[in-house]
Amino acid sequence: MALKCPTNYSCLFQTLYTRKLSALEFFIVLLIFIFIAFFILKWVRFESPSRAPAIHNPARQRSAPYSAETGRVFEQVETVVGRAYVIDGDSIVIQKTQIRLFGIDAPELKHPYGKKAKWALLNLCKGQEIRAKILTQDAHGRTVAHCFLGDGRDLSAEMVKQGLSIDWPKFSGGIYRELEIPDARQKMWLADARQKGRMQVWENFEQTKVSEGE
pLDDT in tens, 153-203: 999 999 999 999 999 998 899 999 999 999 999 999 998 888 888 888 878
Whether residue 210 is predicted with pLDDT greater than 90 in this model: the reply is no
Give the span between the Cα atoms of 160 and 166, in whole angstroms. 6
Is it the case that residue 19 has pLDDT exceeding 60? no
Q: Hey, where are the domains in the chain? A: 59-211
Report percent pLDDT > 70 for the chain. 65
C-alpha to C-alpha distances, 138 to 115, 152, 185, 205, nearest whole angstrom: 25, 27, 26, 26
CATH code for the structural domain at 59-211: 2.40.50.90
Q: Are 158 and 136 in contact (CB under 8 A)?
A: no
Enter the pTM of the model: 0.62
> Nearest to residue 150, comparing CAs of 142, 141, 158, 160?
158
pLDDT confidence of 136, banded at 50, 70, 90? confident
